[in-house]
Chains A and B, each alone.
Chain A
Amino acid sequence: MPPRGQPPPASGPGGPRPAVLLLAPLLLLALQGVAAAPAGAGGTEDSPGLQDAELQRGLLQQAARAALHFFNFRAGSPSALRVLAAVLEGRATVNPKKECQVDLVFTTDHYNREPFCLIPKSLFQDGEERLGKCSARVFFRNQKPRPAVNVTCTRLIEKNKRQQEDYLLYTHMKQLKTPLDVVSIPDSHGHIDPSLRPIWDLAFLGSSYVMWEKTTQFLHYYMAQISSVNQWKTNDDAVDFDYTVLLHEFSTQEIIPCRIHLVWYPGKPLKVKYHCQELQTPEEASGTEEGSAVAPTELNNF
């Protein structure tokens, strides 16, 4: 796993012959946050300039997602999860092996802040300051999983506060009656019982690891639902959580069930093992793929 390093250098990357970004039209994604489309490149039929700009934006978006999933996983804190607010700037280069390096800067918001809580954004006094800022270098290996990520973010939540909140979450988790009497979280109507919210946040943390590994230039994921809780054990030094999550891959629209087993204690690195049910698609030459990984630094302890 690449260590958290310095922010990426402003100048271009090394490498024999960095090529100007040129991606297959397959990579086309939405930009979150407020952003105007680039001014029309003119012309009535094809607008190659416009397309390239949009492809660039799509790739930056992908890189931001990969970087954030990785960041969330490494932070190991279910009360300090972040979501992408907006990509501010970035640049991508593709090498002859079709590997793609992206340097970018983006802003983040709190994941745990309940969205659309009937409080209009205008009422947040702090405005832009509630957003964190990250710079990252992401290296996509030509549609292979496990993009390499180097990411640094400004602190969104003060360290002590974060530890307190994690510990609070942990004590709530310990109070949950086992076996848990739940099937899906959320239910079909998007409802998560407040007492079960810590489970969702912890599941999202574990899923971040999986989603980081599986994100490529073209594929990106959301956690749709926890479809089953297989085991939930809390003792004095850990939460042991075995669950099945449904990931939604956006460009193929597929739902991918992943069995995840994690062990967590506030302040300690997260340990994750997972196995996803991959679908057989024509693009996968080797047939059904299974991802099974343990974070290498935690191997001994698991």
Chain B
Amino acid sequence: MKWILFFGALIGLSICGREKFFGDQVFRINVRNGDEISKLSQLVNSDNLKLNVWKSPSTFGHPMDVLVPSVSLQLVKSFLKSQGLEYSVTIEDLQIYREMNSIAGDFPELASRVKIGHSFENRPMYVLKFSTAEGRRRRPAIWLNAGIHSREWISQATAIWTARKIVSDHGKDPAITSILEKMDIFLLPVANPDGYVYTQTQNRLWRKTRSHNPGSPCVGADPNRNWNASFAGEGASDDPCSEVYHGHHANSEVEVKSVVDFIQEHGNFKCFIDLHSYSQLLMYPYGYTVKKAPDADELDKVARCAAKALASLSGTTYQVGPTCTTVYPASGSSVDWAYDNGIKYAFTFELRDTGHYGFLLPANQIIPTAEETWLGLKTIMEHVRDNLY
């Protein structure tokens, strides 16, 4: 299957230890004169760097777009710096968006890529919609959210793997086939594109958005404290420099607002699942209070079932419980907002691991993580399918 090759190239299959990962980037290089053109030609023509010109400048003053494979990144950056060539790095989430397009292209009857908004730095926010519905009927729907905290790379990776899995298994796996018979699935693999780019280019451990905070040198808000569910309550900070800064007001972050608007406009979501890392936890509301959610007993049962299914693959154990007492108090979270807005089946996954590698989970764990998580996701979605309200 083509997707295995692509994903294999994307992630790198390996057994325990050695792996290669292609984190290609597109450099947009300014060329101001003939001298700079010839310097660039030197760079582009060098065999070992394996550069790929996407767009040549037609005249001076227009930039050149070059695809740089990850192995050559450092060299190219040093070269450009030493030659005084100005450049910016564009679409780093390139691969994920390309793959989304490819999935939609390969399975047009099932999947479509939908733009739901844009980020602070004006990057598109794309979801994949999986639907077997004909016409414009608004079926009950499931929302899969990933990458809201940009450094949690296993989240975006699991999401895009899951996207492929859904289209590949539809028509073969009775579970996903029957789920899609009754419901639509919306998948947002990169809920925080600006942050994701930043983790690839500047700071691998960046968590928040990249919005500007007037009057503060610190950038960004925690997009998972910015939802309108006990906004600015306990478990968030009003300091823009904090990793859990809730933002200026609820939905101040355009990335959050885009999702809120879409879900509210749709009006028929029954399930909202948010993928994070790390800690191996499967949680349900609330994060903003220790008070028990009205559906806590049912959600707890579903979560335990899902954790059991997940563990059945490789023995990976997840703890289950309400967010506030399982991990920590957190106000303004996506899952609490979803729940308080009538989306009963609201869950947070904290994926692998439990601290050994933390955010820097090795690439050889991506597929095992995605495969086991898929079993957990299916358990939840099957329960939703059988308990529509």
Contacts and interface: CB of A to CB of B under 8 A. Distances in A.
A26 interface: yes
A189 B23 contact: yes
A102 interface: no
A268 B297 CA distance: 54
Contact of A83 (B21, B241, B356): B356
Interface stretch (A42-50, A171-179, A290-298): A42-50
B324 A25 contact: yes
Contacts of A63: none
A35 B354 CA distance: 15
Given A40-B297, A51-B325, A246-B205, A186 B357 contact: yes
Contact of A116 (B204, B205, B326, B368): B368
Given A115-B356, A189-B21, A255-B205, A33 B317 contact: yes
A114 interface: yes
> Interface of chain B, helix or strand or loop or mixed?
loop
Interface in A174-201: 184, 186-191, 194
Interface string B273-292: 00000011100000000111
B158 to A, nearest CB: 14
Contacts of A254: 242-243
A9 interface: no
Interface in B69-117: none
Interface string A16-57: 000000000110111111110100100111110011001100
Contact of B353 (A111, A115, A117, A121): A115
A25 B315 contact: no
Contact of A225 (B204, B239, B243, B321): B204
User: Majority SS of interface residues in chain A?
Assistant: loop
B354 A114 contact: no
A189 B363 contact: yes
B329 A252 contact: no
B292 to A, nearest CB: 6
Contacts of B23: 188-189
Contacts of B353: 115-116
Contact of B315 (A35, A114, A122): A122
A253 B243 contact: yes
B211 interface: no
A122 B313 CA distance: 12
B314 A120 contact: yes
Interface residues of A, number: 55
Interface in B16-47: 16-17, 19, 21, 23
A29 B321 CA distance: 11
B362 A186 contact: yes
Contacts, number: 127
A190 B355 contact: no
A6 interface: no
Nearest to B359: A224
Interface string B285-329: 000001110100100100000000000001111011100111111
A133 to B, nearest CB: 19
A10 interface: no
Contacts of A40: 297
A251 B325 contact: no
Contacts of B361: 190
B326 A28 contact: yes
A198 to B, nearest CB: 14
Given A189-B362, A224-B360, A29 B328 contact: yes
B200 interface: yes
A251 B367 CA distance: 28
Nearest to A249: B243
Given A114-B16, A189-B23, A251 B362 contact: no
Contact of B239 (A58, A224, A282): A282
B252 interface: no
A157 interface: no
Nearest to B16: A117
B283 to A, nearest CB: 9
A87 to B, nearest CB: 12
A118 interface: yes
A188 B360 contact: yes
A273 interface: no
B177 interface: no
Given A44-B292, A189-B19, A255-B205, A248 B359 contact: yes
30 contacts: A26-B328, A26-B329, A28-B324, A28-B328, A28-B329, A30-B279, A30-B280, A30-B281, A30-B327, A31-B319, A32-B319, A40-B297, A51-B325, A54-B321, A54-B326, A58-B325, A83-B355, A115-B353, A115-B356, A118-B16, A122-B315, A188-B360, A189-B19, A189-B21, A190-B360, A190-B362, A225-B205, A248-B205, A248-B359, A252-B242
Q: Give the 5 A-B CB pairs with smallest separation, nearest first.
A: A190-B362, A190-B360, A253-B243, A222-B355, A54-B325
Interface of A: 25-26, 28-35, 37, 40, 43-47, 50-51, 54-55, 58, 83, 111, 114-118, 120-122, 184, 186-191, 194, 222, 224-225, 246, 248, 250-255, 279-282
Given A25-B290, A114-B17, A281-B239, 5 more contacts: A45-B292, A188-B360, A225-B204, A252-B242, A282-B239
